[in-house]
Structures are given as structure tokens and as C-alpha cells.
Structure 1
């Protein structure tokens, strides 16, 4: 029976921590501890944590702000578990999560694992649309926890577990933000550790509550991919260029009427067909016209924001070196 140490870095999000901790009290496998690492928040969650001290094996730490990566390292150092599990504070954990992980690890030797994310029934239509966009093969190329994925599996820090040995060998996160989980996963794999996806170890991930917040997040993700290339130049794959192609194509399309109305019509038809495909796929999955319509907006926001972030950070890298 493994002991799991759950590390939750949090910055100014007490309400999210409340929901996350409440979901952990319902686990069917309860051989785990929880470490909440408050990363210099002005809105502290110590009062929320206090509510759960009699329900969970729970420890609260407050430290100066250092970013989420180094806050996770802080938790790793304090953890007593055989496996160190990281959740984002905006996640809700299904009752069966740790039971599922324990059974899987009994049958499969993994040094690090990740799980997918889903939308909870209680999520708003916008949150469900964002969740669809972030997990759809049409927008992510199947690289974020899908059954069919590109290359070795890279666990992401919203839902990730590593063995104690992995932490001891890697020393945790090398950078604290802007692609820190991607860099960490690459290093884990390069050191020869075995990683894998546990499909049924999913979490309900709230992400952002508006498309404007989603835009800022995905713009940051695009910049982060360039930041990772400073450490690992080969880690920019064709799939990461697709949002750039989308963004440049979108801008170019509006120049085409001057050059060739026929080419404009073709380009416009391609874009409309693509978003029509997203609409019908989202409707088939979510059974909601509202969510399907919002999914079109979320998909556009995701691809455009990532592309702009990638291009601006790439230009900055080119100019500054």
C-alpha cells in the first residue's frame, strides 16, 4: 500500500482550495497526506485549510512567493510519501482517483504518471467549452492526455505523480514558471524514467472562467513553448507550429480579397469548415448548442492566443538571442 503525498501550490485562490480539499475527503483510498503550500498569497487559505484538519492528514505551509514550480519543490522536500502527486488548485478530484492510481501502479511499473482532465457537470457553459477546446484532437493534436498522442507521454502538473526516486534524481523543477512542467517531464524522460498516462485517473479542471482569461493563459503557453526551446531546441514539434499557421493564415486571409477574391473564398471556406467541424463535434460530446457555440469561440481563442504568444516570444528570442 503506497503512501501518496499531495502537493497543492496556491496563490490567492482560497475558494478553489476549499473545493479541492472537500473532494479529497471523499476518496475511496485514503492512504495519502496533503501539503498545501501558500506561495506568498495576500488572500490566504489557512482558514479554509483549518476546516479540513480533522478530515485529512493535512499540513499547511506559508512561504514567500517563488512561483508554482519552486513551491512544488518546497512541498516535495516536506513530503513523506512513496509517490508525490501534484494538482492545480482549480481541480476537483473524483472519489475513485487514488484507488484507480493504486490499482494501475500495482500492475504497471511507472516512475511518473499523468492523467487527463474533464469538465464537471457543475461547470459553466464557458468552462465546459474551454475544457472541450483544451482536450479536443482538433485543437491540441492529441498531445494533452488523449489515447492517441504524439511521442513519449509528458505528464502535466495539473494532474501528475512522480516517485520519490524521480524527485531525488531530478531535484524537481528547474524553472518556476513559463513551461516548468514541460521542462520537468522532458528531464524525467531523458534520465531514463518510465512515464505513462493513466486514462481513468482524470481530474475535473476548471481552468479559466472567461474567454479573456483563457486568452491570457494560452498566450502565456505559446510563450512558454519558446522558453522551453532555450533548454531543448528539439522540443518544438510540428504540432506546436499549427497554432502559428492558424494565426498567420487568419491574418493573411483578410489581405487576399485585394490579391485574389477566389483565394479569399477558398481560405474563408476552409476556416468556416474547420469551425463547423468543431461545432458539431462539441455538440456531439456535450449535447448542448450553447456549449457547442462557445466551443467555437474557445477554439479560436486557444489557437490564436497560442500563436500570437509563440510568435512574439520567438521574435524576442531572435532579437535578444
Structure 2
């Protein structure tokens, strides 16, 4: 068996059906599916029974330990040569595994990360979130549109590595604080070959509300600083750009309140950026509604991420002083 697909799930039984349906349609079929129920109150065991005759699926229930450690449990049970991780809210295009295996063999990969995208039937809000998290105007394309695929830091919703990697460097060392980025950096330092595989994309059906999206963006900023405790090089100048973005519009508001003309210059820059976001998202998704929503998701995401990074840096500085 080549692939072991490992899926941690927590209180999301409704999502597993769509994910398993997409796996059932894969063009490449040499794989097993390992579902690790991470202490859920609402389990998916009844749903999984319907796939016993269609997929080589294995279900485990464990106490709640967090997605990183749930993945570790799944790897311990896996029988395949190469482990692939998906989040439960992903839908997998039918050519995913076929394209991934070809990339592994052709490029001699030990590990990979893949991008996420919005399917045509996603809601306008889901498409706007996807745009704000993947567009060049918001994140610089670091989540899947890189010119240098070897620089990619894989994300847990769509990543994988060989059993040899797991046996050598171990699994995730944190349950849910950028554990995927930390492991990406660790295995690269160990000499393993990890690259972005653009054709191995997933449709990421995020179930965010406005609040949960902003909370998640805030935690992403904090998590970047957390990873830097293990890998100082993980925190680079580019990661502070959202903090500058946040500081810039706060200055503009301050200048406005103080009746200083500088606010016009700053507001003008932000206005141009918002217009570009609107146009780019509208064209990409062929929807003015998505374009309008993308203004708010992009603005909120960068501001929340920037605030999370600032507060985490502040806390880290005082902890180091106290230490």
C-alpha cells in the first residue's frame, strides 16, 4: 500500500461524508483511510460504516489531544509508505492522489504541501475567505503560489511525508499551534526534500463565521511567533507586514481625529489597495459580491493576524526578560 490518508476530526460528522465521497472517486486507489476521532461529543462512526465496502477505512476514537497529536496517533496505526493529511472540511479533487504520486516519484520528494482553493459551489463568504488567504495582494501567495516550491512550509490541511520521515524526525510536537510549519522546518533541517506540489490542491470548505475567521487569523499571527521559539528563522520581515498594515490604518484614524492632513495620504493608499482587492477578487471569482466581501475578509484577516503577532511578540519579550 502506498498512501495512508490520515484525517483528525472533532465534532464535525457532517463534513466526513463529503470528504469520503471525494476519496471514493479518486483515480488512484492504492490507499487506506485512517480517521481519528479526537474526543468528539458528536462522532462520525455511523457515517463511516456506510463506506466500509467502498474504502479501506479505519476508525479510531481517542481522548481529545488536539489535531497534531491525533495525526501522530494515526501515523502509528498507518500501513502505507507515504502519509497524507487532510482536514475534515476538505474535498479532494479526483486526480489528487494520481498527481501527487507522480510528483513524489518524478521530483524525488520526501514530503509535500499543497494549496487550497474554493470550489464553484462554495458560498460567496467562503470564496472571499479563500481569496483573502491565498491572493498575492493579501498574503503574497505564500499558501500555494510560490515561484520557489522548495521554500514552501506545508500546512496541515493538505500535506504529507513518507514513513521514513516519521521514523526519523518523529511527528508533530504541538497539538494545534502551527505544528505543521514547525514540522516542515524540522524535516528540512534533517535533510529531507519537501516541496509545494501545486497540482495537489484541495477544496477547503471552511465553516467560519466572521468572528471565528478573525479569531483564527489572530491565532495564526500568535502561532508564527510560537514556532520561532523552536526555529528563530521562522519569523521573518514579511510576517510583520500585517502588523504594519494594522499600524498604518490606526495611524490614519489618529491623524483624522487630530485633523492632520497626513490621514488623506494614508487613506488614499488603503483606498487603492481595497480597490485592487475588489477588482482582483471579482475577476477571479466572476462575482462582484465576492469582490465586496473580499474587501472585508482581507482587511480583517491582515489586521487580526498583525494584532496576534504583535501581542505574541510582546508576551515573548517579557517572558524572556523574566527568564
Q: TM-score range by the shorter chain?
A: over 0.9
The answer as to whether partners of 2:104 and 2:110 remain within 8 angstroms in 1 is no
Partner of 2:316: 317
Q: How far is 1:145 from its partner?
A: 1.1
Correspondence 1:1-321 to 2 at 5 A: 3-148=2-147, 152-259=151-258, 261-321=260-320
Post-superposition CA distance 1:216-266 (Å, at most 9, x none)? 111111110111111112211111001000111121111113556321000
For 1:107 and 1:316, locate their aligned partners in 2 and report how far apart those are by CA, in whole Å: 45
SS at match of 1:200: coil
SS at match of 1:175: coil
For 1:197 and 1:256, locate their aligned partners in 2 and report how far apart those are by CA, in whole Å: 43
SS at match of 2:229: helix
Q: How far is 1:99 from its partner?
A: 0.9
The answer as to whether partners of 1:100 and 1:200 remain within 8 angstroms in 2 is yes
For 1:28 and 1:151, locate their aligned partners in 2 and report how far apart those are by CA, in whole Å: 27
Gapped runs of 5+ residues in structure 1? none
- Residues 304/151 of structure 1: CA separation in 2 closer, same or farther (3 Å cut): farther
The answer as to whether partners of 1:143 and 1:149 remain within 8 angstroms in 2 is no
For 2:44 and 2:151, locate their aligned partners in 1 and report how far apart those are by CA, in whole Å: 37
Root-mean-square deviation (Å): 1.3
The answer as to whether partners of 2:103 and 2:109 remain within 8 angstroms in 1 is no
For 2:184 and 2:24, locate their aligned partners in 1 and report how far apart those are by CA, in whole Å: 29
SS at match of 1:296: helix
SS at match of 1:123: coil
SS at match of 1:44: coil
Q: How far is 1:151 from its partner?
A: 7.0
Q: How far is 1:209 from its partner?
A: 3.2
Q: How far is 1:36 from its partner?
A: 0.1
Q: How far is 1:153 from its partner?
A: 1.6
For 2:151 and 2:122, locate their aligned partners in 1 and report how far apart those are by CA, in whole Å: 31
Aligned positions, number = 320
For 1:115 and 1:308, locate their aligned partners in 2 and report how far apart those are by CA, in whole Å: 27
TM-score w.r.t. length of structure 1: 0.97
Q: How far is 1:203 from its partner?
A: 0.3
Q: How far is 1:315 from its partner?
A: 1.6
- Residues 192/278 of structure 1: CA separation in 2 closer, same or farther (3 Å cut): same
The answer as to whether partners of 1:154 and 1:185 remain within 8 angstroms in 2 is yes
- Residues 234/90 of structure 1: CA separation in 2 closer, same or farther (3 Å cut): same
TM-score w.r.t. length of structure 2: 0.96
The answer as to whether partners of 1:141 and 1:239 remain within 8 angstroms in 2 is no
Post-superposition CA distance 1:149-197 (Å, at most 9, x none)? 5972211111111011100011111111111101010001100101111
Q: How far is 1:3 from its partner?
A: 1.2
Higher deviation after alignment, 116-125 or 141-150: 141-150
- Residues 288/53 of structure 1: CA separation in 2 closer, same or farther (3 Å cut): same
For 1:89 and 1:165, locate their aligned partners in 2 and report how far apart those are by CA, in whole Å: 25
The answer as to whether partners of 2:149 and 2:195 remain within 8 angstroms in 1 is no
Q: How far is 1:135 from its partner?
A: 0.7
